[in-house]
Structure formats: structure tokens, C-alpha cells
Chain A
Amino acid sequence: RKEVEQDPGPFNVPEGATVAFNCTYSNSASQSFFWYRQDCRKEPKLLMSVYSSGNEDGRFTAQLNRASQYISLLIRDSKLSDSATYLCVVIDYNQGGKLIFGQGTELSVKP
């Protein structure tokens, strides 16, 4: 089983839709969590950190469920510019603080 798993998609949604991505992780000792965004043929860029209490940044909401070992990303009122691949990242300090990436979920927002 992969350490971090995501539904690869693609998710095809119309503009204005709400879309949610989930990510599961296998190591219960994982201690930090992030969502990254990657545009086609570009480098990944940090979208937001994920805190235990959940956090929101504009149209984006991230949540963490430690008991079930998953994190989620909710995008409201999707824009064409949200089209990208969204990467779930988990850090386990017991493994030297390495960043472990999921394979990414592709989102395509259509007019």
C-alpha cells in the first residue's frame, strides 16, 4: 500500500461547481500535511497547509481527520484557473521529515 494515496481523477467540473478531493495516508505517525498545486509541466507550489482544526483560505478549505488518516481539500465556486493537479503531501518526522507526495488528482474546470 502506498504511503499516500489520492484518486487520480480526472475530475471534470463546470465553472462555479464545488469539488472535493480526499487523500489517505498509511503512517499514523505522520505529523504535517499540505496541499500543493501543480500546473502542467511546472513545478509544484504550496497551496495551503492543513491544520488539525481545519483551515480556510478564500474558496479553499482543508481538513484533517487523524482518526481515519485522511485529509481533504474543498474548492468552492470553481474557476477556470483552478484547473491543475492537486498533490497531497505528508511529513513524518520519524522518517527524517521527508515530504511524501501522493500521485496527484487532476482537476479540469470547464466553461
Chain B
Amino acid sequence: NAGVTQTPKFQVLKTGQSMTLQCAQDMNHNSMYWYRQDPGMGLRLIYYSASEGTTDKGEVPNGYNVSRLNKREFSLRLESAAPSQTSVYFCASSEDRGTEAFFGQGTRLTVV
């Protein structure tokens, strides 16, 4: 049982480049999330999807877009990467909104 799988695990981008972070879960969960984690800041919610076909902004959505492709997959796109987006990105899923979440292993992104 893979749980939540994120790709890639590491990425270095140049300022202005674009990329998509992929996330897939095999637990048949309805809700999915994208967080970023920075030193001293804790995990901050970027976007979440309460169910297939819906997405909502979190605390720090600027500079990001998301797609809930189907029930399993929730991708995060950086259209024009900036150094301020250097962070560790975690995808998570939960059975429903309000239940405990399970996390992927994270993507370490550096924008130079």
C-alpha cells in the first residue's frame, strides 16, 4: 500500500521556469491538500480539494495553481518560479474533510 506518492523528491529550478509537482493517493480519499514548509513557519496550506472537481485556496496560494485531475491525483503547478518558492512541499490526503491526513514524503524545491 503506497499511501500518498509525490514526484519528484528533489528539484532545482531557475527563476522563471515552470514545473508541476505530482501527487497521487491510493486510499480512496476524498480530500487532498498541498502544504509548504519553511524553517520557523510550520506547514502552511497552499490549496486543498475537498472532493473530486473542487479546489479552494489556502493560506498562501499566490504563485501556484492546482488541478484535481481525478479522485486519486492532485497536482501543484508553479507557472513562473521565484526564489521565495524555495521550500519543502508536502501533499496530503484525508478520507473526508475534518479527518486525519496522511502525507507524502515531500518535494524539496530550490529556485535559484
Provide the residues of chain A in CB contact with B41, threshold 8 Å.
Answer: 103
A66 interfacial by beta-carbon distance below 8 Å: no
Binds A, one of B62-70, B78-86, B97-105: B97-105
- Residue B60 at the chain A interface, CB threshold 8 Å: no
Complex Cα–Cα for A84 and B74 (A)? 29
Q: How many angstroms between the C-alpha atoms of A100 and B59 in the bound complex? A: 10
Compute the total of residue contacts between A and B using a CB distance below 8 Å: 57
Closest B residue to A45 by beta carbon equals B103
Interface residues of A (CB under 8 A from B): 8, 31-32, 34, 41-46, 49, 87, 91, 93, 96-104
Q: Closest CB of chain A to B93's CB: distance in Å?
A: 11
- B33 / chain A contacts, CB cutoff of 8 Å: 98-99
A46 and B58 CA atoms in complex are apart in Å by: 21
Closest residue on chain A to residue B42 by CB atoms:
A103
Could you list 7 examples of A-B contacts with CB < 8 Å? A31-B98, A43-B103, A87-B43, A97-B99, A98-B48, A99-B33, A101-B35
> Cα distance A41–B10 when bound, in Å?
12
Other contacts beyond A43-B103, A46-B101, A99-B92: 4, CB < 8 A: A44-B103, A45-B103, A96-B50, A99-B45
CA distance A96 to B48 in the complex (A): 9
CB-CB under 8 A from B58, the residues of chain A are: 98
Instruction: Give, as a whole number of angstroms, the nearest-CB distance from A40 to chain B.
Output: 12
- CB atoms of A96 and B56 under 8 A apart: yes
Asked if B31 is an interface residue, CB under 8 A from chain A, the answer is yes
Contact B42 A98 (CB under 8 A): no
B45 and A100 form a contact (CB under 8 A): yes
| B42→A97 contact, CB < 8 A | no
Q: Decide: B90 and A97 in contact? CB cutoff 8 A.
A: no
Q: In the bound complex, how far is the Cα of B91 from the Cα of A43, in angstroms? A: 9
Query: Cβ of B100 and Cβ of A49 under 8 Å apart?
Result: yes
Question: Are the CB atoms of B97 and A97 closer together than 8 Å?
Answer: yes
- The reply to whether A93 and B97 form a contact with Cβ atoms under 8 Å apart is yes
Q: Closest CB of chain A to B63's CB: distance in Å?
A: 19
Contact A97 B103 (CB under 8 A): no
Task: Find out whether the CB atom of A97 lies under 8 angstroms from the CB atom of B96.
Answer: yes
